[in-house]
Amino acid sequence: MRRRGSCREFDPETGPTRRQVGTVLDRATRGVPGDWNGGAADGLAFNDAYVLAAGVDGVPDGTYQFLPETAELERLSGVDRRTKRHLALDQSWAGDAHVNVYLLADADEPVDRLGDRGYRLAQLEAGVTLGRLYLATYAHRDLGGTGLTFYDDAVTDHLSPRAAGQTPTCLFAFGRRDG
Ligand SMILES: Cc1cc2nc3c(=O)[nH]c(=O)nc-3n(C[C@H](O)[C@H](O)[C@H](O)COP(=O)(O)O)c2cc1C
């Protein structure tokens, strides 16, 4: 129970490995079974996953989209600690965490297709995925993380043009614990 408390202090020297980050992302992004997909989730239906990585062993620092089908990180642009920190309401632990995972959903398409329920489903999927990001991180004894809040428009701007028309639904910041 103690080990599963939120982590806000990250190792300044050594980050997680590419394999650890890949495992966390893979386990968390398998989607949520529900009546909208016949009870069989085939990956995330409403949200895309973006990764801001700095200090990950085996991954060049940068901003990526995570592609769950192939478990690949597609590079979109660079990133630095100041940007990671700023996007998350200027909270220092977002800058210090080696990995910031943002989920973003299309702002209009789910509502056009499913009515107001579409917005709720996008938020529900993000919430369940955030819970799985916590659990997949805590499954590694040397990793820790925390869910955080963010400046919505600044996040979309940083991830655009890829994320144009999308709105962020959640952020999970994780990395190798300090000490
Ligand atoms: C959606 C969400 C948003 C959060 N936003 C922030 C935040 O902006 N800053 C912060 O320090 N913690 C934030 N938290 C972290 C919570 O404060 C923390 O994970 C929660 O209190 C549980 O803490 P514990 O696991 O240490 O008991 C957020 C958590 C969630 C789930």
Measured CA to CA, the distance from residue 56 to residue 34 in angstroms comes to 34
**141 Cα–ligand 1 center, Å:** 20
Q: Which tens digits make up the pLDDT trace of 85-110?
A: 999 999 999 999 999 999 999 989 99
Q: Does residue 5 line the site of ligand 1, with CB under 6 A? A: yes
Q: 18-176 falls under which CATH superfamily?
A: NADH Oxidase (3.40.109.10)
**6 Cα–ligand 1 center, Å:** 7
Tell me if the bond preceding 68 is cis, omega within 30° of 0: no
Measured CA to CA, the distance from residue 32 to residue 45 in angstroms comes to 8
**Position 57 pLDDT exceeds 90:** yes
| In the chain, where the domains are located | 18-176
pTM for the whole thing?
0.96
Give the residue-averaged pLDDT of 68-77: 95
Predicted pLDDT at 96: 98
Give the Å distances, CA to CA, from 21 to 86, 125, 176: 22, 20, 10
Q: Does residue 129 line the site of ligand 1, with CB under 6 A? A: no
Give the Å distances, CA to CA, from 153 to 18, 59, 78, 160, 168: 29, 27, 18, 10, 8
Collapsing DSSP to helix, strand or coil, 67 comes out as strand
